[in-house]
């Protein structure tokens, strides 16, 4: 059985339809890259899977581990193993990173019928994961994402993923705003988390990230539909010919050429 089965998914924001019939199947352990120009619906797809209220699913279905994903509250999706790495991680002043992550981990553990971790065990766990992400421990005591640099925020997302150990990780433009060193660190963290039990959906505009996180499958999204699917070589082809090579208008590139 597939881990995730998306069938003819349509979703809107207000009156505007953004996803216009997405079909996608992700099996355990697979890494799928979703590429596409701005406005193609990449982030909407990521948001719908995580349960963002802004998007309204108008038709279609999503089965996750055999269950109706769309009927689940965002927190229940997380407890069942879905993790969204945010394109723009949210700053939450007044809530310490440590407190937040411990609360999150223990809720997820409780759902798996595992005992809650005490402060000591939790600290040992996060120390190990912080090393992986080359993060300073001081960040743990700071409020969630507050005053973090762009790179620190993205590393913090992957660090959380490492601690929460999801079954399905959705990375929403995790590469945006990163310099090459930060990109390597983040990609290194993601690669260390690849396993036969963990699937990933990597949403990106640029092929660059896929040099570091090599996908099993690449899908190209345009105007709310997957217009082309292939292996990792599809990403390279896009790099050579651009979205225009597939007959897709990339608003950003089009603007650039003007």
Partner 1 sequence: MTAVAEQTGAWLAEFTAQKPAEPWLQELRNAAFQRFAELGFPTTKNEEWRFTNVAPIARTTFRVSAAGFAARFRGAEKIEAGGKCFDAARLAAEPNAFVALNAAFTDRPCVLRVPRGAVVEEPIEITYEIAAAGDRPAAVHPRILIVVEANAQCAIVERYSGEGRYLTNAVTEIVAGEGAVVDHYRVQQESREAYHISTLRATLGRSANFSSHSIALGGALVRNDANATLSEGSDATLNGLYIVNGKQHIDNHTEIDHAKPHGTSHEVYKGILDGQATAVFNGRIIVRKDAQKTDSKQTNKNLVLSDEAVIDTKPELQILADDVRCTHGATIGQLDEEALFYLQSRGIGKGEARSLLTYAFAQDILDRIKVPALKDQLEKALTEKLHEHGK
* Binding residues for partner 1 (CB under 8 A): 50-53, 73-75, 77-79, 83-84, 86, 89-95, 100-101, 103-104, 107-108, 111, 143-144, 160, 164
Phi, then psi, of 33 in degrees rounded to 5: -100, 135
Crossing angle (nearest 10°) for helices 97-111 and 119-132: 110
State CA 69 to chain mean position distance: 16
CB-nearer residue toward partner 1: 53 or 136 = 53
State the nearest-atom distance from the C-beta of 197 to partner 1, in Å.
18
Among residues 57 and 236, whose Cβ is nearest to partner 1?
Answer: 57
Q: How far is the CB of 95 from partner 1 (least distance, A)?
A: 5
- Nearer to partner 1 by C-beta: 160 or 185? 160
> At its nearest, how many Å lie between partner 1 and the CB of residue 244?
34
Nearer to partner 1, 73 or 138 (CB): 73
Give min distance, CB of 102 to partner 1, in A: 11
Nearest to 145 by CA among 186, 99, 90: 90
Q: Which residues pair with 221 in a beta bridge?
A: 226
- At its nearest, how many Å lie between partner 1 and the CB of residue 258? 33
Helix or strand or coil: residue 159? helix
Kindly tell me the burial class for residue 39, based on how many C-beta atoms sit within 10 Å of its own C-beta (0-12, 13-18, 19 or more). middle
Tokens of 223: 């105007």
For residues 142 and 184, which CB has a smaller minimum distance to partner 1 in the complex?
Answer: 142
């Amino acid at each position: 059985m597939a881990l995730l089965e998306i069938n003819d998914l349509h979703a809107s924001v207000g009156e505007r339809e953004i996803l216009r019939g997405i079909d996608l199947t992700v099996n355990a352990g697979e890494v799928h890259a979703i590429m596409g120009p701005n406005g193609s619906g990449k982030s909407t797809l990521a948001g719908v899977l995580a349960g963002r209220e802004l998007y309204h699913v108008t038709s279609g279905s999503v089965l996750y581990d055999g269950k109706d994903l769309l009927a689940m509250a965002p927190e229940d999706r997380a407890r069942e193993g879905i993790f969204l790495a945010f394109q723009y991680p949210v700053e939450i002043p007044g809530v310490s990173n440590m407190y937040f992550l411990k609360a999150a981990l223990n809720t997820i553990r409780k759902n798996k019928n595992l005992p809650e971790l005490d402060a000591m065990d939790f600290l040992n766990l996060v120390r190990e994961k912080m090393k992986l992400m080359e993060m300073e421990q001081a960040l743990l005591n700071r409020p969630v994402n507050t005053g973090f640099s762009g790179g620190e925020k993205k590393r913090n997302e992957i660090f959380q993923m490492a601690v929460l150990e999801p079954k399905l990780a959705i990375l929403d433009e995790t590469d945006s705003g990163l310099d090459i060193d930060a990109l390597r660190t983040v990609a290194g963290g993601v690669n260390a988390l690849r396993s036969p039990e963990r699937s990933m959906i990597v949403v990106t505009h640029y092929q660059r990230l896929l040099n570091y996180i090599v996908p099993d499958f690449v899908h190209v999204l345009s105007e709310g539909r997957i217009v082309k699917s292939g292996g990792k070589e599809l990403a390279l082809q896009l790099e050579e010919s651009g979205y225009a090579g597939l007959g897709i208008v990339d608003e950003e590139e089009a603007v650039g050429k003007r």
